[in-house]
Amino acid sequence: MLITNATLITWDDPNRVLDQHALYISGELIADIGPMAELEARYPQAERLDAAGQYVMPGNICAHTHFYGAYARGLAIPGSAPKDFPEILQKLWWPLDKALTLEDVRTSAEVMVLDAIRHGTTTLVDHHASPNAIDGSLDVIAEVVESAGMRAVLCYEVTDRNGPDGAKAGIRENVRFLKKLAERDSLRLPHIAGLLGLHAGLTLSGETLDACRQAVAEDVGFHIHAAEHESDEYDSLAKSGLRVIDRLYQHKILGSMSVVAHAIHVDAREINLLAETGTWVTHQPRSNMNNGVGAAPVESLMRAGVPVCIGTDGFSHTMWEEWKTAYLLHKVWHRDPRRMNGNDVVAMGVYNNASMAGMFFPQARLGVLAPSAHADIILVEYHPHTPLTTDNLPWHILFGFNESMVTTTIVHGKVLMKDYRVLTMDEHAVTANARSRAPQVWERYYAQF
Ligand SMILES: [Zn+2]
């Protein structure tokens, strides 16, 4: 397929903005990029997709999300409003994840994957919990991702909060799923990858952390929340005498294949440990603001060499919204408009997200328009009223772009949405089905109070 009449934003390093260009996709990969006239002459027989002057760029990547949170939308928490993050877990997320059946896991994944396609997010790193429907839950999510044509990294969150059997079932589900992924057809480019999921230090004993480490090979990474709230640090100190990142280090959970979400209340030594081990940290400013948990020391983390990525934590997969929130949050948090430069937002949201997600799909480059890179591409209908250059692009995105401008989404070289029409999912059926199931999910949620 030849995408013609495009202005390419390559997100290569350094980035390039190329007017009147074309991009040729062969199979699941980008095969060629060049001036439009040259490529039209080179591939005269190719099927055409006329971008009509739109921006054509790599799809966005979400470094941390929760598909299972879909049914939280519009849900009223009973009683008085949670006063802090531990109460939000106890009153909202833990009763809600217990209310999910396997079929609810499927519909929430459908809703969230659909949301990602519509908003131009083409790779999702999910962290799943459904304590009453653990076995096979990752298969159900993988089926949704694959049939929609998307790309995702999946895991099940192991926790001790539902007793030793719950923890064992969580480990079993991760191990089973990782084994299945390892045995898949090696001739095919994988669309799904896996990690071992862990909830957070505060719901995990040392024995369970060790059992998780022993359950998988050295090269398998972990996906865990850490230092999202002070309580995670105090819990860790009480359990082990160690701060939470030190404790995860001691249990060999950190490393260049592991992903730590949040890292808000980390101290200088913990930042160094994250840097030394090459652990990925994900930043979710909308969630952090919503939970009132503070702002991660993102600039310090990056200056120390920690690769910080951007995720949504289950908010809509509108990555530019998340970028904007990061850009604004750190300014108000520090009361200094010089904080969180637009280029730092791009360093996280584009380059670090692509490097992190790329580790799980190493067969080709991810998050870049370049020959032989994965063909995960979006078309954006944006008409700037000032010049757009490689230098000022971050600020055009922060102040001008929004996800409703994404008209077309392509993943693995396959068109999933064309001119706002989703082709691989029945949008109305997915939404109607989820809505019809919501009252039963909410009933099971309220029954726990
Ligand atoms: Zn999260």
Question: 255-268, pLDDT tens digit by residue?
Answer: 999 999 999 999 99
Question: 117-138, pLDDT tens digit by residue?
Answer: 999 999 999 999 999 999 999 9
Q: Give the pLDDT confidence score for residue 188 in this predicted structure.
A: 79
CA 226 to ligand 1 centroid distance, Å: 10
CA 427 to ligand 1 centroid distance, Å: 26
CA 261 to ligand 1 centroid distance, Å: 6
CA 271 to ligand 1 centroid distance, Å: 19
Q: Give the pLDDT confidence score for residue 89 in this predicted structure.
A: 97
* Cα(59)–Cα(45) distance, integer angstroms: 26
Closest residue by Cα to residue 123 from 317, 274, 380, 382: 317
Both tokens of 306, joined, read 């920690």
Strand 222-226 versus strand 17-26 pairing type: unpaired
Which of 189-193, 404-408, 426-430 has the weakest average pLDDT? Answer: 189-193
Q: Say yes or no to pLDDT of 279 above 90.
A: yes
By residue count, the chain amounts to: 449
Task: State the pLDDT confidence band at 186, using cuts at 50, 70 and 90.
Answer: confident
CA 55 to ligand 1 centroid distance, Å: 31
Question: 282-295, pLDDT tens digit by residue?
Answer: 999 999 999 999 99
CA 4 to ligand 1 centroid distance, Å: 39
Question: 333-391, pLDDT tens digit by residue?
Answer: 999 999 999 999 999 999 999 999 999 999 999 999 999 999 999 999 999 999 999 99
CA 64 to ligand 1 centroid distance, Å: 6
267: helix, strand or coil: coil
CA 288 to ligand 1 centroid distance, Å: 10
CA 66 to ligand 1 centroid distance, Å: 6
Q: Give the pLDDT confidence score for residue 110 in this predicted structure.
A: 98
* Cα(107)–Cα(8) distance, integer angstroms: 35
CA 438 to ligand 1 centroid distance, Å: 22
CA 93 to ligand 1 centroid distance, Å: 10
Cβ atoms < 10 Å from Cβ of 187: 5
CA 313 to ligand 1 centroid distance, Å: 5
CA 127 to ligand 1 centroid distance, Å: 7
CA 385 to ligand 1 centroid distance, Å: 37
263: helix, strand or coil: coil
CA 272 to ligand 1 centroid distance, Å: 22
CA 49 to ligand 1 centroid distance, Å: 37
Q: Give the pLDDT confidence score for residue 187 in this predicted structure.
A: 67
Q: What angle do CA 361, 366, 368 make, to 5 degrees?
A: 170
CA 121 to ligand 1 centroid distance, Å: 17
CA 227 to ligand 1 centroid distance, Å: 11
Q: Give the pLDDT confidence score for residue 185 in this predicted structure.
A: 72
Mean pLDDT of the chain: 97
Both tokens of 345, joined, read 């937002």
Summarize the confidence of residues 220-243 as an average pLDDT: 98
CA 381 to ligand 1 centroid distance, Å: 31
CA 314 to ligand 1 centroid distance, Å: 7
DSSP for residue 335: T
What percentage of the chain reaches a pLDDT higher than 90? Answer: 99
* Cα(44)–Cα(27) distance, integer angstroms: 17
CA 353 to ligand 1 centroid distance, Å: 16
Closest residue by Cα to residue 131 from 178, 176, 107, 167: 167
Residues around ion ligand 1, judged by CB within 5 A, are: 261, 313
Q: Sign (positive/negative) of CA torsion 415, 406, 312, 131? A: negative
Q: Is 186 exposed, middle or buried (0-12, 13-18, 19+ CB in 10 A)?
A: exposed
More confident residue, 185 or 368: 368
CA 202 to ligand 1 centroid distance, Å: 14
CA 323 to ligand 1 centroid distance, Å: 17
pTM: 0.98
Q: Give the pLDDT confidence score for residue 107 in this predicted structure.
A: 98
Q: Say yes or no to pLDDT of 222 above 90.
A: yes
Both tokens of 43, joined, read 């591939």
C-alpha neighbours within 13 Å on the C-beta side of residue 319: 31
* Cα(200)–Cα(160) distance, integer angstroms: 10
Which of 142-146, 185-189, 231-235 has the weakest average pLDDT? Answer: 185-189
What percentage of the chain reaches a pLDDT higher than 70? Answer: 100
Contacts of 146 (CB under 8 A, 6+ apart): 191, 192
CA 139 to ligand 1 centroid distance, Å: 20
* Cα(98)–Cα(69) distance, integer angstroms: 11
Contacts of 316 (CB under 8 A, 6+ apart): 115, 119
CA 156 to ligand 1 centroid distance, Å: 12
To 10 degrees, what angle do helices 163-182 and 206-215 make? 20
